[in-house]
Structure 1
Amino acid sequence: MMPNSSSGPGGVCRLLASLLYGLESHMDTSEDSSFLQDMLMGNTLHLLIKVYDRLQKYRAQRPAPLLDSTQGLAHRLAEELQDTVNSPETTELLNLLSKPHVQTLLLVHDVVAQKRFDPRLPPLPPLPDCNEEDEDSIKIVCLVKNQEPLGATIKRDESSGAIIVARVMRGGAADRSGLIHEGDMLKEVNGVPVEDKNLQEIIPILAKSEGAVTFKVVPGTNEELETNDTQVFVRALFDYDPQADPAIPCRDAGLEFQRGDVLQIVSQDDDTWWQARRHGDANLRAGLIPSRQLQERRVMLQRPEVLFHSPRVSRAFSAGLRSSFRLSRKKNTSQEVKQKIGEVHSGIHVPIYQDVLLYQRNPEEPYRLVLLTGPSGVGVTELKRRLLLSDPEHFCVTVPYTTRERRKQEKDGVEYHFVSKHTFEKDILDHKFLEYGEHNGNYYGTSLDSVRRVLTESKVCLLDVKPHSITALYTSEFKPYVVFVKPPSIEQLRQSRRKAKVLTSQNEQISTRIFTEEDFQNMISSAQSMEHNYGHLFEKVIINEDLAAAFTELRAALAKTETETRWIPNAWAHV
């Protein structure tokens, strides 16, 4: 609060002068003192004080506006000037009066002069007539809405033929009013009877109504149902466009989303159509999305054709095994064949929505396991190698197990963990291996314990795996961050990998050859099959068109997972 000495003309200036005089003895040569002195003696502050004093002077005089419609005066003046002799002064004044900022200034003046501060609602239409016998059962509801939809859907009752409010969308105009509820019987809209109209005739009436809209309804039995929003969040595992869905009750009430979007489910009262909002969306009005049960039924109806007639799936049976260790594609054991068949069948499921919650890593927790996957030749191994070179103290890989003899230059626990065949086969039976295979009579494999050892060392464990192996690691213990490395279009593959080389075999004597057109086709089809069957497990998709750009994108994404809040499956929170 200002002291009394500041009242009256020039009071603030005098107060500032007194302040400067009082602080003079306390000023030193420090940077803070110089800043305070420059601020108090600056021209800007003194000009503001003068403006303040002048406003205080006029406030005491209580001036009243001479006119309360300067806009009208300016309009009449412009009309008279149009009829006068053309001169430079006349032209300049007309231009000045037509400028937007001058017109806005006149508008503000008139609003203040007329004291029109409250918003003006559009005039209400006349209320519909009610018969005396209907007075106790009829409810008249008047809503004011702008460009937004009403936020309710209607249907015709099969038994009575009446038009019923089927659902009220959370956050919409009808929901915010609290006056329209599910089950209400709609009689009239803006005085137009709707009982004898079909739904296709009523929907345009509701959609085109702007401003005040009056409804005549008979209250239903669901008026007192609670409409509290739930805190259920899901990650969508498919793309959805309500405009392309012939089964949705109202296309305009649908919510469009993409795979990976996080949705807040605000109502599951309807077994067929849920109400949801996109997380982080500024629009609080909910939209309709297919329920889990509905979408599962629709996918299952389409799935047999996809499974048994898709060339991508049939090729998956013959796809080679690529893992962190090197195995020959030419000498697959029966176990590997079973593994490939199991891979295809494990992808036969119906991913719809994944229940998720927010998670931020505690500094005392192990880092999330990083899984890199993608088709052979896409660059997964090279991206992993670059990560290791970029920060070998932070990133680490597992040491594979093998039953072959240790060579002279090798050390146990460095290149491999060397174990007996009996021990290896016992660990297979105990499900201790994430991936394993046989080459030249020797076993090679990646152990789950080796993953745990890396994580206990407070390092980020990097694994490049086939997609079917992800499910074994998709647990609360590892909380894997799954990155799918995807090839670009086949035209870009031909251009970017003209001189690149591909591994011809995955044994320990690496041989390479130039990519062929068949390699490109296989890479594209394999990526499509992986994304189709396991896309719901991928948290990050990187298109490897340029290796340097892909590495930069991957490195930045991994850094965010260590510090930022992320959405993870609900199941991971229950250890």
Structure 2
Amino acid sequence: IHERLQHYEESKPAPVMDSAAVLAQDLSEQLKIKSENGDIKELAKLLENPHVKSLLSVHDTVAQKRYDPELPPLPEYLNIEESSVKIIRLVKNKEPLGATIRRDDETGAIFVARIMRGGAADRSGRLIHSGDEVKEVNGIPVDDKKPEDIIRILAQSQGAITFKVVPGLKEDASIREPKVFLRALFDYDPSNDSAIPCKEAGLRFKKGSILQIMSQEDATWWQAKLDGDANPRAGLIPSKQFQESRRFALRQPAATLPLQRTLSRRPSSEDRSSILSRSFTTSSSLTHNCPKGERFSSSCFPAYPLLSCPLRRCGAQSCLCQGPGPSGVGMNELKRKLLISDPQHFGVTIPHTSRPKKNQESDGVEYHFISKHLFEADIHNNKFVEYGEYKGNYYGTSLDTLRGVLTKKKVCLLDVQPHAIKLLRTAEFKPFVVFVKPPKMERLRETRKNAKIISSKDDKGSARPFTEEDFQEMLNTAEMMESQYGHLFEKVIVNDDLTTAFSELQSALKRVETGTHWVPVSWTHS
């Protein structure tokens, strides 16, 4: 419509007259005194039609170029000492106005709290600014009204809305903030958030959603849009600092996490694929490669990692990290099936140890055997993804062995603790983190009735059937791990059936290796 009107305007059309409405009124008066002819009566009726009168009025407005709105007259008793006011008229359709208001508890004055980016108020040319004091809405004084009452007036209004405001001292910056994209690592529903200043202005999103941050002017409540959403209006979300501080305050200490039992027997070569995920967890004599001060730092569980544009994550040069899972959930079986399915595409690391080599063992096959002094030096130099001590001997996975697998253009399958995942989240390793969780209790009993678990209390490492306590511990551990470390997991697989879970894992890996995905911004600037 705009382009057609612009083309028509370029031909410089001239109106035949600019007073068609007056002419129609005069004609209508003359027709009333004429004879009762049928055609005359029909014409008189048409000229009295409200739609025809409005059409002629619009014609005259365009012909006379009277485009400015007719503002109400200023009061005759205007006090020169009063603050200057602005009369603002906005056209509002069915969409929200895109502004929030607040009430000053001391004075009762109503102020514009924030302008939502992309909303009707924002698109109007920024006539209303945050900090403006609202005096009237559609001629109704708001001095004695609550914000809820004003919101109700706005919601019921259609078409033009007139505001009388006292301009605030601080105007919004005209320079727009650069585009920032974040990935949400939690579900958010503003209707359930008692801290949000305006639930109606909140933005609902799910874990994994890509958010475009439109404004960070408020340190507590950012404005954001869902990437790809056609709605131009932004919504309120908790800021990164605010959300992380809330999660940190509610987070239970890691010491209360009911992690799975540790191995009390000496690790053998058969255990090396799972030694880090099952052994180095609860024993007080075991340590982790975790930087000081980070165990309970809010940076360990960020709310929104900063993202760049979608890029392809090449699976041939990345590692598949399996997060810590409860014993008996089937993590190692899935990893073993991956290795068997394509040994040219997948590989595993060979751990290091400081214990003496046995007669039947070969260096670089079962373990990389090094001295305790060299192992401690490598720990000091941060050369291990993670490590632990068992009966006076060190065991661990080095970064160099991980790089060795990647150098062969293979996907490295790795079982690690959460702090190690944080360490590996770099452009060099490009980790894809999978968490395997158990099904419900009924399916556990059904699928594990003939399975056995290695007893950690028996030095001989004998296997025994699962008990009800084992199942309950598995479920509790999985729930607590997902609660505390779920922000690190990019894929969660329920191992209800091993074949189905394996197929789901293969499909997820294929999508990662062949598709384009949002990646942390640090991966594109390293």
Q: 1:222 deviation in Å?
A: 3.9
Structure 1 counterpart of 2:88, from 115, 137, 141: 141
Q: 1:281 deviation in Å?
A: 2.1
Match of 2:256 in 1: 314
Match of 1:414 in 2: 365
Match of 1:30 in 2: none
Q: 1:260 deviation in Å?
A: 2.5
C-alpha root-mean-square deviation of aligned residues, in Å? 3.6
Structure 1 Cα separation of the partners of residues 295 and 426 of structure 2:
16
For residues 34-49 of structure 1, the aligned pairs below 5 Å read none
CA distance 1:225–1:347, shift in 2 (3 Å): closer
Contact 2:94 2:158 in 1 (8 A): yes
Q: 1:353 deviation in Å?
A: 2.4
Match of 2:223 in 1: 275
For residues 553-568 of structure 1, the aligned pairs below 5 Å read 553-568=504-519
Deviations 1:365-398 (A, max 9, x none): 9612110122221111111111111211111111
CA distance 1:514–1:128, shift in 2 (3 Å): farther
CA distance 1:219–1:334, shift in 2 (3 Å): closer
Q: 1:229 deviation in Å?
A: 4.8
Relative to the length of structure 1, the TM-score reads 0.68
Match of 2:20 in 1: none
Match of 2:357 in 1: 405
CA distance 1:413–1:344, shift in 2 (3 Å): same
Structure 2 Cα separation of the partners of residues 529 and 332 of structure 1:
14
CA distance 1:313–1:487, shift in 2 (3 Å): farther
Structure 2 counterpart of 1:205, from 139, 153, 162: 153
Match of 2:35 in 1: none
Structure 1 Cα separation of the partners of residues 235 and 182 of structure 2:
15
Is 2:273 the partner of 1:324?
yes
Structure 2 Cα separation of the partners of residues 154 and 563 of structure 1:
47
Contact 2:313 2:513 in 1 (8 A): no
Identity across matched positions, percent:
55
Relative to its length, the structure with more helix (as a share) is 1
Task: Report which stretch shifted further, 140-149 or 394-403.
Answer: 140-149
Structure 2 Cα separation of the partners of residues 134 and 227 of structure 1:
36
Structure 2 Cα separation of the partners of residues 489 and 518 of structure 1:
14
Match of 2:100 in 1: 153
- Whichever residue aligns with residue 502 of structure 2, its letter is F
Match of 1:256 in 2: 204
Contact 1:484 1:542 in 2 (8 A): yes
Relative to the length of structure 2, the TM-score reads 0.74
CA distance 1:134–1:296, shift in 2 (3 Å): farther
Structure 1 counterpart of 2:322, from 341, 366, 372: 372
How many residue pairs are counted as aligned between the two chains? Answer: 445
- Whichever residue aligns with residue 384 of structure 2, its letter is F
Structure 2 counterpart of 1:298, from 237, 243, 246: 246
- Whichever residue aligns with residue 465 of structure 1, its letter is V
Structure 2 Cα separation of the partners of residues 221 and 315 of structure 1:
52
Deviations 1:123-150 (A, max 9, x none): x999655325489944333333333211
Structure 2 counterpart of 1:476, from 412, 427, 439: 427
Q: 1:295 deviation in Å?
A: 2.7
Q: 1:172 deviation in Å?
A: 1.0
- Whichever residue aligns with residue 486 of structure 1, its letter is K
Match of 1:177 in 2: 124
Deviations 1:18-71 (A, max 9, x none): xxxxxxxxxxxxxxxxxxxxxxxxxxxxxxxxxxxxxxxxxxxxxxxxxxxxxx
Considering Cα pairs closer than 8 Å and 6+ residues apart, tell me whether 1 or 2 has the greater RCO. 2
Q: 1:442 deviation in Å?
A: 5.1
Q: 1:323 deviation in Å?
A: 6.5
Structure 2 Cα separation of the partners of residues 213 and 324 of structure 1:
68
- Whichever residue aligns with residue 550 of structure 1, its letter is A
CA distance 1:562–1:329, shift in 2 (3 Å): closer
Structure 2 Cα separation of the partners of residues 181 and 219 of structure 1:
8
- Whichever residue aligns with residue 228 of structure 1, its letter is R
Contact 1:369 1:479 in 2 (8 A): yes
Match of 1:100 in 2: none
Contact 1:484 1:540 in 2 (8 A): yes
Match of 1:48 in 2: none
Match of 2:4 in 1: none
Structure 1 Cα separation of the partners of residues 496 and 442 of structure 2:
11
Match of 2:13 in 1: none
Deviations 1:481-532 (A, max 9, x none): 1111122223332233232322334999764322211111111221222223
Q: What SS is found at the alignment partner of 1:288?
A: strand
Structure 1 Cα separation of the partners of residues 513 and 284 of structure 2:
37
CA distance 1:174–1:238, shift in 2 (3 Å): same
Q: What SS is found at the alignment partner of 2:420?
A: helix
Structure 2 alignment gaps of length 5 or more: 1-54, 56-67, 264-270
Match of 1:358 in 2: 309
Structure 2 Cα separation of the partners of residues 328 and 356 of structure 1:
29
- Whichever residue aligns with residue 243 of structure 1, its letter is S
Q: What SS is found at the alignment partner of 2:378?
A: helix
Q: 1:462 deviation in Å?
A: 0.8
Structure 2 Cα separation of the partners of residues 193 and 332 of structure 1:
65
Q: What SS is found at the alignment partner of 1:207?
A: helix
Is 2:75 the partner of 1:131?
yes
Match of 2:14 in 1: none
